Amino acid sequence: MEKLIICGSEGKCGKEVYKLLKEKGYEILATVNKDSTPLKEILDKFNDVDYVIDFTNKEVALNHINLCIDRKISFICGTTGFNQDELDIIKEKCKNYRVKGIICPNFAIPMNIIINNFKVLSNSFDSCLIKEIHHLSKLDKPSGTAKTLIKKASCKTDVISLTSNDNIVQYLIQFDSKYAKMEIAYEVYNKTIYAYGVYYYLRHLDDNIFNNLIAY
């Protein structure tokens, strides 16, 4: 089993990732959270870290990713909010340092299947409307998932981003043309589904099912 450090293990997604990977027998060397020992100091203590997993916020995650690349440690990042310039810099640095890393806006396997096939699906229609609902605490609107779908789209695509007190995440994707219509409804009731995505990734490192924003 790989040896891991989990950043953001007390957050909504991070705690589910921590719980599941602990149950599955992974060796979690340390965790990094607000007011805890910084990642840099933790990395100074260990010479055999296989992966740093990050579910924090963009500013913190960016610092963590750069630390990982500098030390040639692979990373898994589920934090969103990176702009294209930041992603391009990370991608180039990963190339130069030969570090394997993934930044994925959504680790739910069903959503990645939709993302991977979105270009072909949208090519059959004239327009697409993505309606998404997230909790009030969601900072980036549209979400990283919606932005990724827009980039993949082959037809005119619009996004409506709404917020709710409910913790249920909802996506309704509506395709339309003069010949046909199609809807995809996807709801997430528990963030454990993202943890299972991280677990799947660790077991299938060469599987490109996940939308890696810095893949090269």
* Alpha-carbon distance values, 122 to 35, 126, 206, 209 (Å): 45, 8, 27, 19
Angle at CA of residue 176, ends 174 and 178, nearest 5°: 165
Tokens of 174: 């509506």
Q: Which of 58, 100, 138, 151 is catalytic?
A: 138
Q: Which of 134, 147, 152, 191 is catalytic?
A: 134
Dist. CA 79–CA 61, nearest whole Å: 7
Dist. CA 174–CA 179, nearest whole Å: 14
Tokens of 110: 């069903």
Tell me whether residue 72 is exposed, middle or buried, using C-beta atoms within 10 angstroms of its C-beta: 0 to 12, 13 to 18, 19 or more.
exposed
* Alpha-carbon distance values, 113 to 120, 186, 211 (Å): 12, 12, 9
72 is catalytic: no
3 is catalytic: no
Q: Would you call the peptide bond into 110 cis, given omega within 30 degrees of 0 as the criterion?
A: no
Which residues are identified as catalytic?
A: 134, 138
